[in-house]
């Protein structure tokens, strides 16, 4: 009985810590800088570039070449 309660408390603490970490990550990504741009906006702008690079690397790997990053 005591072990079950201890496990429940540890599960609650673990979930609370994960929730706080997610909250802080979202807060960090959506915080605006002096120019009014958030890190999330920067990520969204650069994502198409990363997708194109990933496609190039994938095609190089399928062709048997060593990808240039």
pLDDT tens figures, 1-49: 556 677 778 889 999 999 999 999 999 999 999 999 999 999 999 999 9
Claim to verify: residue 36 and residue 67 sit in the same structural domain: yes
58 and 68 Cβ atoms separated by less than 8 Å: no
The DSSP result for 19-58, as a single string, is HHHHHHHHHHHH-B-TTS-BHHHHHHHHHHHHHHHHHHHH
Claim to verify: residue 41 and residue 68 sit in the same structural domain: yes
Claim to verify: residue 41 and residue 53 sit in the same structural domain: yes
Domain count, the chain: 2
60 and 67 Cβ atoms separated by less than 8 Å: yes
Claim to verify: residue 69 and residue 41 sit in the same structural domain: yes
Provide the domain limits for residue 56.
Answer: 32-69
Claim to verify: residue 25 and residue 40 sit in the same structural domain: no
User: 0.85 cut: is pTM over it?
Assistant: no
């Amino acid at each position: 009985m005591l072990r079950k309660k201890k496990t429940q408390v540890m599960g609650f603490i673990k979930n609370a810590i994960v929730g706080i970490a997610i909250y802080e990550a979202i807060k960090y990504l959506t915080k605006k800088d002096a120019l009014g741009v958030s890190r999330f906006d920067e990520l969204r702008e650069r994502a198409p570039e990363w997708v194109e690079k990933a496609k190039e690397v994938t095609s190089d790997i399928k062709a048997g070449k060593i990808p240039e990053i």
